[in-house]
Structure 1
Amino acid sequence: YKLKNADLAAVEDAYSKAAETGMQVLAEEFVEGRELTVGVLDKGEGRGLEAMPIIEIKAPKGDYDFEHKYYSDETVYVCPAEISSEKTKEIQDAVVKAANLVRASGWSRIDVMLREDGSFALLEINTAPGMTPHSLVPLAARTEGISYGELVKLVASGASLKG
């Protein structure tokens, strides 16, 4: 359940309904803002992880749900996102730091919410993001001049069976 400006009764109701599934219920802060995602890629040559161009996800009514991600043609992806160069660098530095902190390697993607006041929250890291030609990391790669084939080679060259 997605609750905005909810009172205690609404939270309790949502919790009760979610608990009926018999599964564990997780509640987290609702972060409102512009939805962004940032690919992180090891481009080889010992350079380590680097942030890719930021993508802004513009879904109808701000609902980037399963339907709008996989089936709808209404979602718009803006790459690079229309954000100041200073804020872009700040977000990219934060996602690289986060990826390094969790010891991500090869490639990953981190979702970010950019609040109206300019602050931002890192939401989650996907350490095995989609790699179809229509996925978000390949979109960011194309934006910086890396072809899909080159991207696949970069990801494969960094692959390892080490745990």
Structure 2
Amino acid sequence: MTDNRTDPDPVADERTTLAGFLDYHRETLALKCEGLTDEQLRLRAVPPSGMSLLGLVRHLTEVERGWFGRRVGGRDLPPLYFSEPDNPDGDFDDLDSTDVATVFATWRAACAESRDIVAASSLDATAQRRDGTDASVRWIMLHMLEEYARHNGHADFLRERIDGATGE
């Protein structure tokens, strides 16, 4: 794995710091998936878990689109990989015939769209959460950092299980 991540600026303003850490975590997920075959990206964790690196990328695509695209951006973006209530874990399941390159391109496009939406939004702007309460764009960015950090921990274990590679 070649680590080309960009460290966030330690003296930047709030928006730049939040965006920098979010991009750092996005790059970390890409790093954890780098150099693996399609089959390795589909490998499941330990039964009964259905988690895989490819499933994590699909899940985080949905999360990007949900929080930034639908909630902050107000866009009509139906889920790509799951449906409720019929297939709520479709982002982690249904990987056998999935085109890996398309999954990564879709995730990268979702991240780029999220960056554009955030750049056009005030950190104090609000969006409605599933429970009907409001959350600021600032809160959503911090929530997304938590989401990526948690799943990057999962990605660490998955990658180590696949080929022994470890790292930040």
TM-score by length of 2: 0.26
Using CA pairs under 8 Å that are at least 6 residues apart, name the structure with larger relative contact order, 1 or 2: 2
More helix, by proportion:
2
TM-score by length of 1: 0.27
